[in-house]
Structure 1
Amino acid sequence: MKNKISHILILVLLLIGLISCETSYVDIPADDELLDGTIDGLSSSQLSQFLRGDAAVNEVFTRETGLGSTFVGTSCINCHAGDGKGHLFTTLTRFGQVDETGNKFLNQGGPQLQNRALPGFLPEQIPVGATFSKFTPPAFSGLGFLQNVSDTDLLAMQDPNDSDGDGISGTVNWIIIPSYSIPSSTSITKNGKHIGRFGKKASAFDLLHQSVNAYNQDMGITSFFSPIDHYSNLEIDSEVATNKVNDVVFYLNVLKAPIQRNQNDNEVNKGKQLFKQINCTGCHKSELTTGYSPISPLSFKTFSPYTDLLLHDMGAGLDDGYTEGSAKTFEWKTPALWGIGLSENSQGGNYFLMHDGRARSIEEAIIMHGGEAINSKNAFQNLSETDKNALLKFIKSL
């Protein structure tokens, strides 16, 4: 009898264990639900470099490992959780420039505010008289494709005099590049300046430029490329190895592009047609093509970022009185829309859209468009509720 009871108890415990295992099982997210992962076609050595870059992006700096006396974050993932967009708590504050003559507050901490400090130091304050703007950190995914769109293609998309009469112009941001950025043989110059394509104002030339700035300005980490400590203004030894910076740049280059979801959904496809019909594609281009890249899987690829990488007048409502490069204070680079439907995942379950996160929904972001986008905004507002919902569903699928 005791043996029977023991056997029954064992069977009950086994069943409970099986049920527990079954109920605790979590499905692996589909590829189109994730922002991380590599582009296809990388070699084994390239995959190894990607993993080194991934580790570097996740590295947390401390006082002992070079964290600046003043800083914004202690690691890349502080601002780019899951390779995604940042939120209100990770916004950067940029200040001190009002036109293309340059930043007048570089000797007072500009262009970026370091709002945190190690014990014994004081966080920076915005100098009296300096205009400023807040920037939410962008997502990392698909950047290698954007870097490899040719200058020729970018210039071809410009329409500074609105020759087609659609109310949209668009211009590139001509910037002075740092000495460590090496332009390709196809890079186009104008009066010694090159075309920027990264950052809210398209003021960073390439992913190396963007990464070096982030190490120095966000974390106070000096490098071979940028050896000046932003707190003391003195040149000091590198606090991050050059090969580690290069690994991060490679990592950013080969992160896969976001994959559109629900592509066969009828409402999504209707929304896609409406998106084109009201000329959102005048700025948010549905297709771009890369040129040659030394990373061969990025060469000559057509992709769908929904951006033109150009500056556009977005109206007085989005004019913060601050700028970078040759951009006007009311001009902003068209943000890529791919991955926007997943941005809630890295933004704490909420949307924080536009350059500073002021919009809490996609619809609110559309309504905030002005300037060159006013006609498209008005057309959106005149849509029926059914059509609005279809268009919004399409954008969320990106």
Structure 2
Amino acid sequence: MAIGCITASIILLVACEKFMPQAPAEDSILDGPVEGLTAEQSLQFLRGDVAFNDEVFTPEKGLGPIFVATSCGTCHAGDGKGHPFTTLTRFGQTDSTGNKFLHAGGPQLQQRAVYHYQPEQLPAGATFSRFMPPANTGLGFLDAVTDADLIALADPLDLDGDGISGVPNWIHIPEYLKERANSITHNGRYIARFGKKAAAYDLLHQTVNAYNQDMGITSAYEPYDTYSHLEIDPEVSNQTVIDVVTYLKTLKAPIQRTPNDVEVVAGKKLFMQISCGKCHVPEMTTGPSTINALSHKVFFPYTDLLLHDMGPGLDDGYTEGMATTAEWRTPPLWGLGLSKKSQGGQYFLLHDGRAHSIEEAILLHGGEGQQSSNGFRQLNTADKNRLIKFLESL
């Protein structure tokens, strides 16, 4: 009798497995931890995952009263790029002297509000830019690149004469931030590297700003309410903030698909040939990190984390830190081919999502990206397709 029950259970288990969904391939998703975390780091990753993707804020939990989104995951579905519905609007700064509209709700527009409140409106005369939420994966690797390596990639005077002069964005950092080991400063400013204008110093800076500016949630790091501008009690704990920072820091790097495909290999060669790789640098190496899994690792983000003048077509008249209005941080290209999964089935590329295809994004490059845009135009159709196939493999 017992043997019969065991046999029946095994048959039932096997039958059920046939109908269970297959786990997605690792190279087809952006979520998941980097390999080599300790048990404690893995637990913190899981806590941060829950806080980032499952925690939905309501007015009872501190939401708003004005806000952009109700959760972190709203803007970064599957840790991928955002959608026009979740686009952020920044306004009020035209040069490096500071934001002129902080009294009117700057630097970010909270265009939604809870019941009985009115959402913000753009004040008259304020220049603004729309920022598409970026993908989150691999951020810990970017965070662990040394300032010295970024300085080595910069060429502010274009000494090599290639028409490309990437520069860091130098910012003043809030008091709650701890500077990186061996950080490089310039006139009391530090090198920032996250965000469309590279205006966030590290992932704590980015996370604290997101809680406060995106969801109207105060913390001990940023205790000022976005609506009243008054200091109020924290609405999210320090532990939760740090858990989310750890989650973001320990998300895996995107895995390239079909890297050995003949067309993909040819596309990468064309990518380098038309100088795309001068800004979208294929390979970087991390420095020392308190997380051993991120320490001294070679990775392939296709960015230099520097600002580049992208010409008048991408000049929105708004800036942050020391960046000019036409300067944008080189966005990492890894994970690009998975973007449509989180963007409703189509691409919304460049800083504001205006490009609906990879080809359109390339052709909109001006300024320091003009030579690459021109190079792409001169390719025949087959070579254009190879280059795009390479980018979609990332």
TM-score after normalising by structure 1: 0.94
Which of 245, 250, 262 lines up with 2:246 in the alignment? 250
Once the two structures are TM-superposed, the CA of residue 21 in structure 1 deviates from its matched residue by 8.1
SS of residue paired to 1:181? coil
Once the two structures are TM-superposed, the CA of residue 230 in structure 1 deviates from its matched residue by 1.0
Which residue is 1:72 aligned to?
68
Q: Take 1:377 and 1:166, find their aligned partners in 2: how far apart are those partners?
A: 14
Q: Take 2:172 and 2:17, find their aligned partners in 1: how far apart are those partners?
A: 58
Which of 135, 138, 163 lines up with 1:139 in the alignment? 135
Q: Take 1:355 and 1:324, find their aligned partners in 2: how far apart are those partners?
A: 14
Which residue is 1:175 aligned to?
171
Tell me the alpha carbon deviations over residues 316-355 of structure 1, each in whole angstroms, 9 at most, x when there is no partner. 0000000000000000000000000000000001100000
Which residue is 2:31 aligned to?
36
Which of 42, 48, 64 lines up with 2:43 in the alignment? 48
Once the two structures are TM-superposed, the CA of residue 25 in structure 1 deviates from its matched residue by 4.7
| 2:257 counterpart of 1:261 | yes
Which of 261, 264, 287 lines up with 1:291 in the alignment? 287
Q: Take 2:78 and 2:180, find their aligned partners in 1: how far apart are those partners?
A: 31
Counterpart amino acid of residue 52 in structure 1:
R
Q: Take 2:293 and 2:21, find their aligned partners in 1: how far apart are those partners?
A: 33
Counterpart amino acid of residue 212 in structure 1:
V
Tell me the alpha carbon deviations over residues 276-318 of structure 1, each in whole angstroms, 9 at most, x when there is no partner. 1111001000001100111111011110000000000000000
Which residue is 2:22 aligned to?
27
Which residue is 2:7 aligned to?
none
Counterpart amino acid of residue 238 in structure 1:
P
Q: Take 2:34 and 2:95, find their aligned partners in 1: how far apart are those partners?
A: 38
Once the two structures are TM-superposed, the CA of residue 26 in structure 1 deviates from its matched residue by 3.2
Which residue is 2:346 aligned to?
350
Which residue is 1:216 aligned to?
212
Which residue is 1:113 aligned to?
109
Which residue is 2:380 aligned to?
384
Once the two structures are TM-superposed, the CA of residue 184 in structure 1 deviates from its matched residue by 2.1
| 2:209 counterpart of 1:233 | no
Q: Take 2:39 and 2:170, find their aligned partners in 1: how far apart are those partners?
A: 37
Q: Take 1:181 and 1:217, find their aligned partners in 2: how far apart are those partners?
A: 18
Structure 1: state its 5+ residue gaps.
1-13
Counterpart amino acid of residue 34 in structure 2:
I
Counterpart amino acid of residue 239 in structure 1:
E
Counterpart amino acid of residue 332 in structure 2:
A
SS of residue paired to 2:245? helix
Counterpart amino acid of residue 92 in structure 1:
L
Percent of residue pairs identical: 64
Which residue is 1:324 aligned to?
320
Once the two structures are TM-superposed, the CA of residue 27 in structure 1 deviates from its matched residue by 2.7
Tell me the alpha carbon deviations over residues 3-34 of structure 1, each in whole angstroms, 9 at most, x when there is no partner. xxxxxxxxxxx9xxx7x985x55332110001
Counterpart amino acid of residue 210 in structure 1:
Q
Match runs of 1:120-131 below 5 Å: 120-131=116-127
Structure 2: state its 5+ residue gaps.
1-10
SS of residue paired to 1:134? strand
| 2:379 counterpart of 1:397 | no
Q: Take 1:63 and 1:26, find their aligned partners in 2: how far apart are those partners?
A: 37
Counterpart amino acid of residue 46 in structure 2:
L
Counterpart amino acid of residue 386 in structure 1:
A
| 2:196 counterpart of 1:206 | no
SS of residue paired to 2:359? helix
Once the two structures are TM-superposed, the CA of residue 164 in structure 1 deviates from its matched residue by 1.1
Report how many residues are paired: 382
Counterpart amino acid of residue 211 in structure 2:
Y
SS of residue paired to 2:142? helix
Counterpart amino acid of residue 40 in structure 1:
E
Q: Take 2:48 and 2:180, find their aligned partners in 1: how far apart are those partners?
A: 23
The higher radius of gyration belongs to 1
| 2:59 counterpart of 1:63 | yes
Once the two structures are TM-superposed, the CA of residue 356 in structure 1 deviates from its matched residue by 0.4
| 2:159 counterpart of 1:163 | yes
Match runs of 1:271-290 below 5 Å: 271-290=267-286
Q: Take 1:86 and 1:37, find their aligned partners in 2: how far apart are those partners?
A: 18
SS of residue paired to 1:110? coil
Which residue is 1:301 aligned to?
297
Once the two structures are TM-superposed, the CA of residue 185 in structure 1 deviates from its matched residue by 2.7
SS of residue paired to 1:154? helix
Which residue is 2:3 aligned to?
none
Counterpart amino acid of residue 43 in structure 2:
S
